[in-house]
Every structure is written in C-alpha cells, then in structure tokens.
Amino acid sequence: MIIKFAVLTPWIGGRLRDLAQAVFGSPPLQTQGGRFLILGSQERIAQAMKDPELSAYVAANSNARLQSAALTTDDWPYFYQHEPGIPASVIIISSVLIVLCCIFLRETGTPLASLQWHFFFLGAAFMLLEAQIVSRMALLFGTTWVVNSIVISGLMVLIVAANLIVHWRPRIAVTFAYIGIFASILAVYIIPPEAFFLGSFWAKVFASTAVLCLPVFFAGIVFIVSFAREGFRSDALGSNLLGALLGGMLESVSMWTGMKSLLILVALFYAASWIVLLRQASRVEDRQAIADPGAAQV
C-alpha cells in the first residue's frame, strides 16, 4: 500500500505515519519528507531496499522531523485538528451568533418568555440527530453525494411514515413515541458502524437507514402531534427553528468529545422536551380542575 499526501504541517505527516503503523503493525517506509509512505510486506520492502539506488534515494529524502498527533478514529474523525478540543474560531462565531439572535429577538419585540420550550428542545435534538446520522453514514458510504441522498431519502420516508401513523391514529400517545426515541437512540449508541458492513450494498443501505434513522420516525410523531395540538402556530415553529440553530452550534462539541457524545445531547434534549410537555399537561389539568371543581371530584 502506498500513501501519497500533501503534508502541510509536521504533525499531519506524523499522524499519517502513526495511523499507518497502528493499522499495519509496523512502521512504514517514508520518503519525500513524510509525504510518501510505503506499507505492506516487510520482507519484500527489505528486499527492494537492497537496490543501492533506491536505498540512497530513500535515505536522502527521509529526514523529515515529523511530530505526533492524536490519532483519528471513527468516533473522532477530524483529520485536520491536532487534538480533541473546540477551536477558538468556532467558539467566537457561535458566541456572535447567539448575541445576534438575542438582538434580533429584542428588535422584533419577541421576549424569551414567549418561546415554546418544548419545540425549542425538539429542534435542537433533531439537528444534532441529523448531524450524527450523516457522520455515521459517511463511515459506511464515504463522504460523497451518495451519503446525502441516502440520509435525506431515509429521513423523508420515515417522516412521511410518521405522518401516516398520526393520520391513522390521531390520538396516539406521545409517551409511546418518547419511549421509541430513547430505545432507538440507545441502539444507535451501542451498535458499532462495522455491524452494517454487509455483503450487499442495498442490504447495507436498508439496514443502516432502518437503525440509524429510526429515532427520526418517533421524533416525527412527537413533533406532528405537538404541532397539531398547538394549532400549527407560528411561534411554535419559530421556537423549533431557534432550537435547530442551537443544535447546529452544539454539533461542534463532537470535535472535543467525539461523535457518539452527540447522542447523549440528543437524549438530554428530548428528555427536556418531554418534561416541558408533561408540565404543560399538568398545568392544563390544574386549570380545568379550578374551572370545574365538580368535574375534578368526579
């Protein structure tokens, strides 16, 4: 195996070298300042190096001072980041976006108290969930248009299925949907990506979509039922979009803690939305009891 790569900094070359050594179990033969790595049979490489001309060329071009860096993994795939952490540029841009959002809310006369926190948490959770799905799919199919087409198609199918379920059973309990959300998130967290490396391409597509995108189906049921109960109000949709903005910014947390940590944030946001929903239902029952105490006693 031959790796030829444009090494811009010494630690990128060091990361390539260390990754190759971790995979093959032996140090690679390197030349051109760490930009050219040769791996494979140590016996055949040693035999080739008996050629004086080749040996002299490698010796003259292998004096690069490479630096080590944190090895990338399936959970932390950030090749151009030296070590886990959130870059200062990401923190600055996210802070600016939060400040601008608060200014716009104030200029439009929209108080924070008017936010529908249930929909806000749903939006944040869904955006993080989508980022997690795209990243997992990229491990299976590569970072190409194929990933986007598979993810978007799978999400659309499951969202349509959620609409059909709610249309068929308008009084479906959101408790069932929340249980499905947490169970499917747990399955995604536990099942490793290599479990979807099946022999058939379409089997891999259907299996990965069914498992990785399944939380979207249950989340769609929660959103549809909740949005219908709110009378499809614009403040509910606006709160959902603001939550999606927060979820998009929190996606950068994976640069520090890894991709799987996003699933924990997703579960926390869905739990928060469920708690808010239960509190709202409790307030409604209290108001009904106050308005009609006789009915409450019955």
pLDDT digit string, tens, across residues 154-170: 889 999 999 999 999 88
* Calpha distance 102→85 (Å, rounded): 26
Task: Identify the residue with better confidence: 50 or 268.
Answer: 268
DSSP assignment, residue 85? S
Residue-wise pLDDT tens digits, 136-148? 888 888 777 777 7
- Residue for token digits 């795209």? 134
Task: Identify the residue with better confidence: 234 or 298.
Answer: 234
Mean pLDDT of 233-240: 88
Beta bridge pairs of residue 3: 37
List the single range of 7-21, 53-67, 202-216, 236-250 with lowest mean pLDDT: 53-67
| For residue 267, pLDDT beyond 70 | yes
Nearest partner of 23 among 72, 57, 67, judged by Cα: 72
Mean pLDDT of 261-269: 95
Token pair for residue 175? 């408790």
Confidence of residue 84 (pLDDT cuts 50, 70, 90): very high
Mean pLDDT of 49-61: 82
* Calpha distance 148→41 (Å, rounded): 38
What pLDDT is recorded for position 298?
43
Could you give the count of Cα atoms lying within 13 Å of 15 in the half-sphere of its Cβ? 20
Confidence of residue 64 (pLDDT cuts 50, 70, 90): low
Q: Report the largest interatomic distance among the alpha carbons of the chain, rounded to a whole angstrom.
A: 101
List the single range of 134-148, 153-167, 175-189, 230-244 with lowest mean pLDDT: 134-148
Please report, for residues 123, 132, 247, the alpha-carbon distance to residue 253 in angstroms, rounded to integers and kept in the order given. Answer: 17, 12, 10
